[in-house]
Chain A
Amino acid sequence: MCRTICYNPTKHKQSRPPLSVSSGESSWKVSVDKMSYKRQRIRDPLYNLIEFPADEFHDAMWQVIQSPQFQRLRRIKQLGFSELVYPGATHTRFAHSLGVFHTARKLMTIVKEHLDKSDYQETKAQRALAAALVHDLGHGPYSHAFEDVGKRLRIVMADHEKVTDLLIRQGDISNALNKLGGGFASDVADVIKKSCPASIYGAVVSSQFDADRLDYMQRDRLMTGTHHGAIDFDWLLSNLEVGTVPHGVDRERVGEIETFVLGPKAIYAAETYLMGLYQLYATVYLHKATRGAEKLFTELLVKVIELAGNDSVQKTGLSQNHPLIHFAKNPVDLECTLALDDSVISGALSMMTEAEDPLISDFSKRLRNRKLFKCIDVREDIAKGIRLRLSKKSIDSKIAKTHDPSVGGANQANPDRKEKRRIDALDRACNAAEKSLIAFAEENRETIPKVLIDSPGRSIYRDFEESKGPLNQIMIRPGLGDKPIDVASISQVIKAIAPFKAFRVYMKDGDEKTKTTINQIIEKEVKRCRC
């Protein structure tokens, strides 16, 4: 086989052989390479063709894709329970991973154009591209909802980053990657595990403009059918540059690092990008019904795993040899972890409806028939209550103002501070309401919980540092030759985008007593609110 004849791990690890040599032995190698490697194409709903040219690198990537571990991603939906809200959102992590690889190659061409030919390192680029392809390998069934189960039960194999790391470093994936050189697989795993994007190659996989985000924002929008969250992808890429920014820890400077920055003409595209992310969080990723289903799923799986771990498998409705029971009994076993996917869980729901355990029986029926718990948006209700109170107060204060000219002066002079006080007051009220609801849930602990509490929140930025710094911001070069600055410092729109926060309670429909209690807690906090 030519691959055996041509393959030289040491040589390949340092630098890739030239592909366009026209004489001697190298020429022979190239022609044989081309004969042995097969060009592959995949039709993608977002990008149309994703191509894998006939060369050694893409052949290795193709081998990765053919592995059972990668094929498993066909059975893990990208958006989990979002399809209960958006029926079209049945796309998988398989399609997303291919899309991330495709986008990463586009980003890498920007890197290549930026770096001098002598500075561009093909091996580092290939590591990052491979990392883009395999970054999601370790996701479990219903992705993030399964991670919540792991956090509750302290199961390390529910952590997708841990499983991804293991899969890259061993078995079929590792074998396929190591065809590109001994230790290549390990290097790929390190790219994903690095403390923060350590170089511009790493920024392709992990930065404010990484391939993962650029793909999922477009793909999730397309597949859900939502018209929110559109981004100007081509314009963004066309204006993406490589810039140097400082980074540090607390007060201490660490050094400088190369990352993606935007050119001066991309300010509006940046605004659309960040607004788009915000809208996707609000309308898709943290949608109240999706989160409600995830809450039921988490409770359901926690119960099944706990019962199986306590030798009470017969109460779960599942057989002893069901993959979920195997996993419950061997939570540190990689094979048992990989045996789980969305189809295994959704297929088990009908069996679980027959479970002796009331929670398992009830929640599996609810998930199967989309009869979710009723959502009460506590944050929204408290905010409405406060607004109502303030509007009444405002009418009163207008009357009072005719007698007292000092009323309203300080706050109006600084609307930012006033707004911050209101948000703080709302946060405080939600925080207090959450504590009351937790206390209520604990006092009324029953086989089936009366309330399920959810308080998700997301910032539009990816966090790479614990303190704010350029790596946690979108940097833009305001003019030719200027140093990159935080885009929020020149865009009022971006400056105004606060992290998305929600606080919701889910309860059984028709449980009027619980509903009354929740409403009383909301009313109490509205009254107590000082704003």
Chain B
Amino acid sequence: MPVLNKKTDAEKAADIIRDAGGRVVGRTRLQKMAYLLEITGLGSDFSFEYRHYGPFSEELANAVADAQLWDLITEEEKTANWGGSYSIYTAESSTPKAKVNPARKQLLELGIDANPIELELAATAAFLKAVEKVPDPWEETARRKPEKAAKFLAKAKVLYEKLRSVQTPKPLPAI
């Protein structure tokens, strides 16, 4: 790999996985965790846009693919009970806990433990508030994702409050 002075996107993507303990289950989870880092000032300068499943970064998706090419991480594809498949990302090693920014570490830990649907809804609401300036992001999230919201919105709100309680350089917007 060519040696550049600054970290490549692939290295930044691998860092997210390393800082999260070396293992992240699910592409959606990885995308939403990266978005929460970005919006709170703890990210790696990946740009996100609204897609079918909420905030999504094509740059990050490409960076993850590059990180695999260069053996910084591995992606294992597993079959989910519902019939689709999901990915498990593993970095060779995790970053020593003491070296990870404490707020970044807390956010990543919450993301790792969260239900991915709740995480998607929470990240979507944050995006709608921060970027689209929607007055009632939860209502709008429910409108856009009625099936997911019907079962998971209440828990997504609880998760969001936990995420918001982390002392980050930029606070998550109050919703």
Total contacts A to B, CB within 8 angstroms?
113
Does B144 contact A194, Cβ atoms closer than 8 Å? Answer: yes
* A250 with B86, Cβ < 8 A, contacts A255-B147, A464-B52, A467-B26 known: yes
Question: Which residues of A in the span 273-311 have a Cβ within 8 Å of any Cβ on B?
Answer: none
**Size bracket of the B interface:** 35 or more
Kindly list chain A residues whose C-beta atoms are within 8 Å of the C-beta of B26.
249-251, 466-467
From residue A304, how far is it (CB to closest CB) to chain B in Å? Answer: 22
* A249 with B144, Cβ < 8 A, contacts A428-B70, A466-B53, A468-B84 known: no
Determine if A247 is an interface residue (Cβ-Cβ < 8 Å): yes
Does B84 contact A466, Cβ atoms closer than 8 Å? Answer: no
Does A249 contact B1, Cβ atoms closer than 8 Å? Answer: no
Kindly list chain B residues whose C-beta atoms are within 8 Å of the C-beta of A251.
25-26, 78, 80-81, 86, 116
Determine if B93 is an interface residue (Cβ-Cβ < 8 Å): no
**B69 touches which of A194, A255, A257, A428 (Cβ 8 Å):** A428
Does B83 contact A246, Cβ atoms closer than 8 Å? Answer: yes
In the assembled complex, the Cα of A465 lies from the Cα of B53 at a distance in Å of 7
* A467 with B54, Cβ < 8 A, contacts A248-B80, A249-B26, A253-B80 known: no
**B115 touches which of A193, A252, A439 (Cβ 8 Å):** A252
Contact bitstring A80-112, B, C-beta under 8 A = 1, else 0: 000000000000000000000000000000000
Determine if A427 is an interface residue (Cβ-Cβ < 8 Å): yes
Determine if B95 is an interface residue (Cβ-Cβ < 8 Å): no
* A253 with B81, Cβ < 8 A, contacts A196-B52, A439-B2, A439-B4 known: yes
Q: In the complex, what residue of chain A is closest to B29 when comparing beta carbons?
A: A250
In the assembled complex, the Cα of A191 lies from the Cα of B28 at a distance in Å of 22
Per DSSP, chain B at the interface is mixed
Does A469 contact B117, Cβ atoms closer than 8 Å? Answer: no
Does A467 contact B85, Cβ atoms closer than 8 Å? Answer: yes
**Size bracket of the A interface:** 35 or more
Kindly list chain B residues whose C-beta atoms are within 8 Å of the C-beta of A436.
2
Determine if A229 is an interface residue (Cβ-Cβ < 8 Å): no
Does A468 contact B85, Cβ atoms closer than 8 Å? Answer: yes
In the assembled complex, the Cα of A441 lies from the Cα of B151 at a distance in Å of 51
* A466 with B144, Cβ < 8 A, contacts A247-B82, A247-B84, A436-B2 known: no
Does B144 contact A193, Cβ atoms closer than 8 Å? Answer: yes
User: Can you list 15 A-B contacts with CB-CB less than 8 angstroms, sorted by A residue number?
Assistant: A159-B49, A190-B143, A193-B144, A195-B53, A196-B52, A247-B84, A250-B87, A252-B80, A424-B69, A427-B69, A431-B66, A439-B2, A464-B52, A466-B56, A470-B84
> Which residues of B line the A interface, CB within 8 A?
1-2, 4, 8, 25-29, 31, 47, 49, 52-54, 56, 66, 69-70, 77-78, 80-87, 115-117, 120, 143-148, 151
> Which residues of A line the B interface, CB within 8 A?
151, 159, 190, 193-196, 198, 245-255, 257, 424, 427-428, 431-432, 435-436, 439, 463-470
